[in-house]
Each structure stands twice: as structure tokens, then as C-alpha cells.
Structure 1
Amino acid sequence: MLSRSLDHGVLVVTVHEDPGTGLRVEFTAQVRDLVRAHEPTPVVVVIDEAAATPGVVRALVDAFGECGDLGVLASVATHSASARRLFEVAADRGGSRLVVHSRIDVAVTTAYTVTA
């Protein structure tokens, strides 16, 4: 479901598939725990095409909302235009500082540059 790596001092978490409604709470907790364990490292969550669902978007917005007090730069990268729109709407409603990108390389470079 998830994999993680460090790229130029940026935590990159890749979501490979939608965990489904039964495991979404655990998924949200996993992402939240990764962000907290690596703070203050910036994080980019990459969402594979198969995982770009409204449920994954909601779970990630919840996870980053719970980590908002950490001041960690959080970004999302996905090729899915519909998922990017859902993130932007959720960020507008929740006042999130979540940055949304269409390209992974740009997301990682931006996170690295901003926090360097």
C-alpha cells in the first residue's frame, strides 16, 4: 500500500493503491506517523494513478490536518487531475498548507529548495 524513501532530504511516501474503506483509518495513521517520525523533514506524498481516489484524498487531508501543528512542509504529487482538484478544494476548506503538484520531480525539488 505504501512505500517510502528519502530523496535529497525529502521524505517521499508513495501510495500504490487505495486501502479501501476498512483500512483507511490505519492508512491515515501510517501517513501521520511517518510525518511525525521524520519531522522536520519535508514530505512529498506521491499518489499512483490506481490510488488517486476520493477516499485516499480524504485520508491524506485528514493525516496532514492532524500534523498541521508540526509546521512540516507537506506536498502531494499525482498525475490525476481530478485528485489534484479534490486536494485543492479540501485545502481551501480546511485552511491546509498542503501543496499540490502534477510532477514528482518538481514536488521534491521545491520541497528541498524551500527548506534548504
Structure 2
Amino acid sequence: MLSHRLDRGVLVLTVQEDPGIGGRAELAAGITAFVRAYQPAPVLVVIGDPAATPATASAVLRAHRQCEELGVPMSVATPSTPVRRLLEANAASGGARLVVHPHVDMAISAAYEAAA
């Protein structure tokens, strides 16, 4: 369901499939576990088309709150306009802003530059 790699010091987590409503907590916990293991590296969560669902967005938003608590910057890349809108509309406005990109390469560059 979740794969990872490091790219220029950015932890890139790719959600490969829809977790469904019942898998949201597991996905959020998986993201958080990787974040803890690689902190303080900035995190980019990539949501591909098969995983571009409201359930995935919900899990990513939960993980974003955990990243805020850990002080780890997190961003998201997805080609899905509806999921980008959902993430932007529901991201907590009190803490660190969740940056949502349409392209992975631009998102990695932005996360790398922000951390430098």
C-alpha cells in the first residue's frame, strides 16, 4: 500500500492503492512511522490515480497533523484535481500549511529547496 525512497534528502512516500474507509488509520500510521524513522527529512506523499480517493486524502490529512506535531514539513503531490482540492480545503489552517502539487518532480524540488 505504501512505498518509500529518498530523493535529494526528501522522504518520498507513494500511496499505491486506495486504503478504503477501514484502512485510513493504518495508512496514516504507516506514513507517521516512516516520518519518525527519517525525521527531520522533509516528507512528500505522492498519491497516484489508483489511490486518489477521499479515504486516502483523510489518511494524509491525519498524517499531516502528526508531522506538524513532530516539526517535520510535509507536502503532497497528486495529479487528481478533486483530491488536491479536498486536501487544500481540509488542511488545518492553524499550523503549517499543507502544500499540494500537481507534479512529483516540482514537489521534490520545492521540498528540497525549502529544507536547504
Q: Distance in 2 between matches of 1:103 and 1:53?
A: 17
Percent of pairs with identical residues:
52
Q: State the match for 1:49 in structure 2.
A: 49
Equivalences, count: 116
Say yes or no: does 1:112 pair with 2:112: yes
**Deviation of 1:68 (Å):** 1.0
RMSD (Å) for aligned C-alpha atoms = 1.4
TM normalised by structure 2 equals 0.93
Q: Distance in 1 between matches of 2:59 and 2:94?
A: 13
How has the CA–CA distance of structure 1 residues 60 and 20 changed in structure 2, closer, same or farther, with 3 Å as cutoff?
A: same
Q: State the match for 2:81 in structure 1.
A: 81
Q: Distance in 2 between matches of 1:94 and 1:15?
A: 26
Q: Which runs of 5+ in 2 are unaligned?
A: none
TM normalised by structure 1 equals 0.93
Q: Distance in 2 between matches of 1:60 and 1:96?
A: 14
Aligned residue runs from structure 1 range 59-98, under 5 A? 59-91=59-91, 95-98=95-98
Q: Distance in 1 between matches of 2:19 and 2:92?
A: 25
Aligned residue runs from structure 1 range 13-24, under 5 A? 13-24=13-24
**Deviation of 1:20 (Å):** 1.5
Counterpart amino acid of 2:63? A
Q: State the match for 1:7 in structure 2.
A: 7
Q: Which runs of 5+ in 1 are unaligned?
A: none
